[in-house]
Amino acid sequence: MEECFDLVIIGSGPAGVSAALTARHRGKSALIVTTAPEDSMLYKAEHVDNYPGLPAATGAELIDAFIGHARRSGVQIMRGRALAVADLGGVLGVSVGSDFVQGRSVVLACGLTRAKPFPGEAELLGRGVSYCATCDGMLYRGRRVAVVGLATDAPEEAEYLRSIGCEVEYFDSGRARRYAVLGEERVSGLEADGVQYPADAVFIFRSGLAPDSLLPGIAVDGGHIKVDAGMATSVPGVFAAGDVVGAPYQVAKAVGDGNIAGLSACRYVERLAAGDK
Amino acid sequence: MAVTHLTKENFDASVASGKVVVDFWATWCGPCRMQSPILDQFAAAHPEVSVCKVDVDEQPELAARFGVMNIPTLLFFVDGKLANKAVGLQSLDRLAAAMGV
């Protein structure tokens, strides 16, 4: 995608969609990058009773309505896993699979993951633990890899690894519940419910990300991304909204956050444009 | 300074002296493609550091020699000695910090 968007928004929940709609109402272009919406906590909510105007809606109904509204408002939506955000020199890049998109500003509305890393996962990151099939899969062609699939798109990622010649051992919540990554200097295997499987790499696909993993060095506070009253993070041009910036983890609050983040991002883009002249 | 592409034939000579950053990358890796313009800026801002790249697809021996298991991986050499290693996309600031410039 060659186009540079005014706002690239990571996440299609209430915060992300609200930021995107705010941008569209101010004449800005907006792209939402999102993994499967059905992986979100909201999607699984049976009733959301405190969101004005839509009594007793299910989480899934709300999300479908939000995304439909975004599409009708000219927001572009891209399916994929955002892996990294970085300043490319005047524009921000967001890597998605084997490609990347560019934005003048970025809004992190990626929700919160409650998953704790597996034993050995952090220690062996970069030594055989990977979150990116398209990045690292080719390094393991012809070798045995374990895939822990905890997100809707995980089977596709595993299929990709198979297609390039990795010998894939696939695990999901139906097969095992407790995992540990094994190895000293490098990954030697995966332990799943107490059974050890030899592997040269362990690919882990979760629906959420640790809040600071997209942008190493971004200021965090108690597991949330730190923002000011305008939802600006410590990184220029990067804003955050919704659960990722803190409680209450409610749709109404996320929509409000997204609105503020969207307005701030629009102002940032306008200042950039004014500075360029 | 322009970015130099390394092979197993010219690798050792290229990192033998001075400060050298080597980026292990591949065309099919999104974060690697984002790393590229950042490295170009780093090279422009720090002419005292030579910036090199290794395509892991074309140079699997080099990737294996340095135990590159995720990309991008950046290796930082000072006078031929490996001084630092960073896995994953690195910002301009983090590149400078890792290279001590």
- Rounded distance between C-alpha atoms, residue B21 and residue B3, angstroms: 10
Are A89 and A164 contained in the same domain? no
- Residue A55 is given by DSSP the state T
Give the HSE-up count for residue A40: Cα atoms under 13 Å, Cβ half-sphere.
Answer: 29
Chain B residues within 8 A of A126 when measuring between CB atoms: 69-70, 73, 87-88
| Cα–Cα distances in angstroms (integers) from residue A180 to residues A61, A122, A193, A207, B76, in the given order | 36, 11, 9, 18, 31
Q: Residue B17 is part of which domain span?
A: 4-99
CB contact under 8 Å between A136 and B67, yes or no, is no
- Rounded distance between C-alpha atoms, residue A262 and residue A246, angstroms: 17
Q: Are strands A195-198 and A187-192 parallel, antiparallel or unpaired?
A: antiparallel
- CB of A93 less than 8 A from some CB of B: yes
| Cα–Cα distances in angstroms (integers) from residue A241 to residues A10, A99, A100, A125, in the given order | 10, 25, 22, 28
**CATH number, domain containing residue B67:** 3.40.30.10
Q: Which tens digit of pLDDT belongs to each residue from A102-124? A: 999 999 999 987 778 899 998 99
> What pLDDT is attached to residue A88?
93
Confidence of residue A277 (pLDDT cuts 50, 70, 90): low
Confidence of residue B100 (pLDDT cuts 50, 70, 90): confident
ipTM of the complex: 0.84
Question: Which residue of A8, A91, A100 to mutate against B (max B Cβ within 10 Å)?
Answer: A100
Q: Which tens digit of pLDDT belongs to each residue from A157-206? A: 999 999 999 999 999 999 999 999 999 999 999 999 999 999 999 999 98
Mean pLDDT in residue range A56-71: 95
Q: Which tokens belong to B94?
A: 């983090």
Confidence of residue A101 (pLDDT cuts 50, 70, 90): very high
Mapping DSSP to helix (H, G, I), strand (E, B) and coil, where does residue B22 land?
Answer: strand
> What pLDDT is attached to residue A217?
85
Please check the confidence at residue A2 and state whether its pLDDT lies above 90.
Answer: no
Report yes or no on A122 lying in a domain.
Answer: no
B52 is an active site residue: no
Please check the confidence at residue B42 and state whether its pLDDT lies above 80.
Answer: yes
Confidence of residue A70 (pLDDT cuts 50, 70, 90): very high
Confidence of residue A89 (pLDDT cuts 50, 70, 90): confident
The reported pTM is: 0.89
Chain centroid to Cα A249, Å, comes to 17
Q: Taking a C-beta distance cutoff of 8 angstroms, is the pair A102, A8 a contact? A: yes
Q: How many domains does chain B have?
A: 1
> What pLDDT is attached to residue B39?
95
Report yes or no on A119 lying in a domain.
Answer: no
- Rounded distance between C-alpha atoms, residue A154 and residue A45, angstroms: 22
> What pLDDT is attached to residue B1?
63
Mapping DSSP to helix (H, G, I), strand (E, B) and coil, where does residue A198 land?
Answer: strand
Boundary residue ending a domain (A181, A206, A231): A206
Boundary residue ending a domain (A206, A235, A257): A206
Residue of B3, B4, B26, B29 marked active site: B29
| Chain B closest-CA separation from residue A25 CA (Å) | 30
Number of residues assigned to chain B: 101
Are A10 and A96 contained in the same domain? yes
N-term to C-term CA, chain B: 16
CB contact under 8 Å between A126 and B57, yes or no, is no
Q: Taking a C-beta distance cutoff of 8 angstroms, is the pair A206, A151 a contact? A: yes
Mean pLDDT in residue range B61-73: 93
**What share of chain B has pLDDT > 70, as a percent?**
99
**What share of chain A has pLDDT > 90, as a percent?**
78
Cis, peptide link before residue B72, omega less than 30° from 0: yes
Report yes or no on A121 lying in a domain.
Answer: no
Q: Residue A50 is part of which domain span?
A: 4-113+209-276
Q: Taking a C-beta distance cutoff of 8 angstroms, is the pair B60, B12 a contact? A: no
**CATH number, domain containing residue A44:** 3.50.50.60
Chain B residues within 8 A of A133 when measuring between CB atoms: none
- Rounded distance between C-alpha atoms, residue A164 and residue B26, angstroms: 15
Are A27 and A83 contained in the same domain? yes
Report yes or no on A162 lying in a domain.
Answer: yes
Mean pLDDT in residue range A61-67: 96
Cβ count near A275 (within 10 Å): 7
Are A141 and A20 contained in the same domain? no
> What pLDDT is attached to residue B44?
94
Mean pLDDT in residue range A199-214: 86
- Residue A232 is given by DSSP the state B
Are A222 and A100 contained in the same domain? yes
Q: Which helix (H) or strand (E) holds B62?
A: helix B60-65
Please check the confidence at residue A1 and state whether its pLDDT lies above 70.
Answer: no
The strand pairing partners of A227, in sequence order, are: none
Q: Which tens digit of pLDDT belongs to each residue from A222-269? A: 889 999 999 999 999 999 999 999 999 999 999 999 999 999 999 999
Mean predicted lDDT score pLDDT of chain A: 93
Question: Which residue of A4, A85, A88, A209 to mutate against B (max B Cβ within 10 Å)?
Answer: A88
Boundary residue ending a domain (A179, A206, A233): A206
Are A105 and A213 contained in the same domain? yes
Count of CB pairs separated by less than 8 Å, A with B: 90
Report yes or no on A178 lying in a domain.
Answer: yes
Q: How many domains does chain A have?
A: 2
